[in-house]
Amino acid sequence: MLTFKQIEALYWVVQLGGFSRAAQKLNTTQSAITKRIRELESDFDVQIFDRSGQKAVLTRKGQEVLDLASQLLSQRDLMLMKIQGFHTFSGVLRLGITEITAMTWLPDMIQQLRLLFPKLVVSPKIGMAAELQHHLLGGQLDMAVLHGELRHPSFESRHLASVPFAWVGSPNLVSPDKIYSPEDISNMSLIRQDAESGLNLIYDEWLSPYKAKSNLFTINSLLAMVGLTVAGFGVSCVPINYFRNLVRAGKLVVVQTSKPLPESTYCAMYAKDANSVFYGEIVEIARAVCNFSVPYGSGVISV
pLDDT of residue 78: 66
pLDDT of residue 300: 46
Residues 6 or more apart whose CB falls under 8 angstroms from that of 7 comprise: 40, 69, 72, 73
pLDDT of residue 302: 40
Which one-letter amino acid corresponds to residue 148?
G
Per-residue pLDDT in tens (0 to 9) along the chain, 303 residues: 788 888 888 888 887 888 888 898 888 999 999 999 898 888 878 898 888 877 778 888 888 888 888 778 767 766 766 666 656 566 788 999 999 999 999 999 999 999 888 888 899 999 999 899 999 988 889 899 998 888 888 899 999 999 999 999 999 999 999 999 999 999 999 999 887 788 888 889 999 999 988 988 887 889 999 999 999 999 999 999 999 999 999 999 999 999 999 999 999 999 886 567 788 889 999 999 999 999 998 754 443
pLDDT of residue 86: 59
Alpha carbon distance 16, 8 (integer Å): 12
Max Cα separation, the chain? 75
**Domains of the chain and CATH, by start:** 4-84 (1.10.10.10), 86-154+267-289 (3.40.190.10), 162-263 (3.40.190.10)
pTM for the model: 0.71
pLDDT of residue 303: 36
pLDDT of residue 90: 63
Taking alpha carbons only, the member of 8, 269, 30 closest to residue 142 is: 269
Alpha carbon distance 47, 18 (integer Å): 17
* 44 SS3 class: helix
